[in-house]
Amino acid sequence: MNTALVARSMQIMWRWSHGWGTKTCLLDCETRLETEMDQNRRWGNALPYLLVLLLLLLFLPRASVQAGIPVEFAGKRNLQTYPFQSGFSINTTDWTERSAPIIADIDGDGENELLAGNWRGRIYAWTAAGTLKPGFPISASGPIVGHLALADLDGNGDLEIVAGVGDYDNGDNGHVYVWRPNGNVFPGWPRTVARYGNDRQCKIATVALGDLDGDGDLEIVAGTNNNNFGPDFAPYVPNLYAWHHDGTTVAGQWPVEDSDDAAILGNLAVGDLDGDGQNDVIVARDYHRVFAYDGQGNDLAGWPRYTFVPEDGIWNVDPRIAHRFSAPTLADLSGDGALEYIVAGYRRPAGSTTIYNNDLLVLRSNGTRLSGWEQPAGGNGALSNSYLMQQASVVADLDGDGQLGTIVPTLDGWIRAYRVDQTLLWQFNYAQGKLIYASEPVIGDIDGDDHYEIVFGVYDPKFGDTQPVGVWILEHDGVPKASIPLPVAESGVLAAPTLGDLDGDGDLEIAAVTPRGWVYVWDVPAPYTPELMPWPMARHDLRRTARYIELKPSLERSTKTVRPAAAEQGQVFFFTVEIVRTGVALTSTVRLTDIIPSGLTYVPGSLVATSGAPDAAQAPTLRWTGLLSDVTRVTLTYATQVTTPSTVARTNAATIDNGRGTILVHRATVILNGYKMYLPLISRNF
């Protein structure tokens, strides 16, 4: 994919016979082709063979050297479109609700699969080529409306598949299933969940995995729509379950019910909310109340909480925030080491079911509101009371200030990003004045610019032909990319997209499914960097915990370059080292060592750095020390002069020590006193 067409200072080594012997020549060919789309790009280290260069000039004039990115995309803020991954799109013809696709290597063979569940109770698993894996699709006994969850439950290296399976007939029970990656049912499963009354189908809206009892094994948690509309709340109506991986019920209060017998129609989260070292279960139910349970199913201190617009609202007086499809998120927004409980809901007047706005809440571990969030972050009304959407919040550090922000699409047709103090970073009107809703967003660097993009589906809630629908992509500052949304068939994308490297080629793919069963995979011409994927899939991770975890710091994207790539005796040229941090702040001291090779001499006073402490006192050994806790990039430059008359190639290496035991070496090669060959200019009217 890294075809090099455009070259500056192309270096060619060749051998030729002359007279009595053979001589080695180094050629510096100053050849460059620029188009309108890459005027500001500088390229180096192009094709090693002149013939290939000439052929590419003639026949592939619009290729690019940037890791396979076409010239139309290279260095541009707005990408135009992406090709489909070979073998996709696929039409399953099966109805799909909020069950998002998931990319993972389920059988440990080193190759990823794409999984998706649907209303017909089928779970598909495709290879990167779009072919079904043996044993798939799996057929279950009822509808799958929630996300699949994946984890190695038995420690054998494979990933088991967990799904909530409802029932098509009113009053019948639903089940939670676990399958092995070959499609066989895992021992101890399925488990049955209750359905009170005979007037509704059983639906299992959410499953998630986490270690609830601290024994190192994962438990399976599921929430259902079991409820009781009658005036008598005495019957036991459980709708939140927790099992060990062998199917036995976790000790304690499980399964638990709500004293008002309200259903769970949204998603749950799993994480250590109260800071006691044990995971808790977080959920909202279908009215104005949010819940937090410990690993045994007991209410955490301060929970549950009624959610009025004012924090201490009065029943039947103050407007309330209801949580029909709410999807709570856990993250340390305040940076104090404790998790916050982030949840969006619909605003209703006291004593009324009318929705007239939407609200975002941020709660402390004890249920009180975080400073700055005493009043919720409200929206601009509601597009509809008849059709509702899930308002799923996600978190990431969008502006690189070291603090997490919250991103949430809402029922008013907008998606917004907030700082920790509720300051609005930006907002974008995805509905454009139409009845169009949005999926849960996912977040990652999808164009290789070291900034996060926000990716989410938009859809027609009437499942008609309202346009535009598809997949939106916003820059980190909320500006949409051109020719977005990515178009899809029919009604749009209801479930969250997924970011991953499906085919293992190092580049990114975006996967999405539509309600009517289309499965799309776009092949994105940018590197897949896990350290730059803070929220890559629905509910954050394969276990669907919705618990934000800080990305590990990495310096893998650091580079070293030289300009010009060739010089003669007496000439000066410049080396540049870019130390680039991805992930969270790196608190250890970073050290760089750069030894200038023979044939070159350091130009005194030329070593400079944008931060940190450069040291040239022991030249030709140059050093730098500094921190990358508050910055993501440090640029070092220095000059050298050619002192040798010989024709030779010299490689200069910079060694970077991250202070945590990882050593990286980056190199740049320069041609000294090379022979010159001037090529004829070949042009063609394209």
pLDDT digits 0-9 by tens, 119-136:
999 999 999 999 999 999
Backbone torsion region of residue 432, taken as left when φ is above 0, otherwise alpha when ψ lies between -120 and 50, otherwise beta: left
Residue 376: both structure tokens together:
């919720």
**Which residues make Cβ contacts (< 8 Å) with residue 651, sequence separation at least 6?**
597, 667, 668, 669
Kindly tell me if the per-residue pLDDT of 626 is higher than 50: yes
Q: Tens of pLDDT along 405-461?
A: 999 999 999 999 999 999 999 999 999 999 999 999 999 999 988 889 999 999 999
pLDDT tens sequence across 571-613: 999 999 999 987 777 889 999 999 999 999 999 999 999 999 9
Q: For residues 498-515, give the mean pLDDT.
A: 97
Q: Domains in the chain, start-ordered, CATH in brackets?
A: 95-532 (2.130.10.10), 559-672 (2.60.40.740)
Q: Which two tokens stand for residue 363?
A: 């709660």
> What is the reported pLDDT for 399?
87
- Report the pLDDT value the prediction gives residue 26, as an integer from 0 to 100: 30
pLDDT exceeds 50 at position 38: no
- Gyration radius (Cα) of the chain, Å: 29
* Other CB atoms within 10 Å distance of the CB of residue 677: 12
pLDDT reading at 403 higher than 80: yes
Comparing 333-347, 417-431, 483-497, the range with the smallest average pLDDT is: 483-497
Band of the pLDDT at 553, cuts 50, 70, 90? confident
Counting residues of the chain whose pLDDT is more than 70, the rounded percentage is 87
Distance CA 128, CA 248 (A): 36
Beta bridge partners of 357: 347
- What is the predicted pLDDT for the residue at 630? 80
3-state class (DSSP) for residue 51: helix
Backbone angles phi, psi at 653, to 5 degrees: -115, 135
Indicate the burial class of 659 (C-beta count within 10 angstroms; 0-12, 13-18, 19 or more): middle
Q: Give the residue from 97, 129, 98 showing the smallest Cα distance to 113.
A: 129
* E strands present in 413-452: 414-418, 424-429, 437-438, 442-444
Residue 247, CB half-sphere, CA atoms under 13 Å: how many?
14
Q: pLDDT band for 683, please (50, 70, 90 cuts).
A: low
Query: What is the mean predicted confidence (pLDDT) over 141-146?
Result: 95
The pTM (predicted TM-score) of the whole model is 0.76
Evaluate if residue 71 carries a pLDDT over 60. Answer: no
Share of the chain above pLDDT 90, in %: 73
Average pLDDT over residues 244-252: 97
Which of 50-64, 78-92, 458-472, 485-499 has the lowest average pLDDT? 50-64
Q: What is the pLDDT of residues 564-575, one digit of tens each?
A: 989 999 999 999
- The most confident of 74-88, 217-231, 636-650, by mean pLDDT: 636-650
Cα dist from 267 to 28, 184, 327, 515, 646, whole Å: 61, 26, 5, 19, 69
Asked if pLDDT for residue 193 goes beyond 70, the answer is: yes
Between 197 and 250, residue with greater pLDDT: 250
Alpha-carbon distance of 79 to 480, in angstroms, equals 10
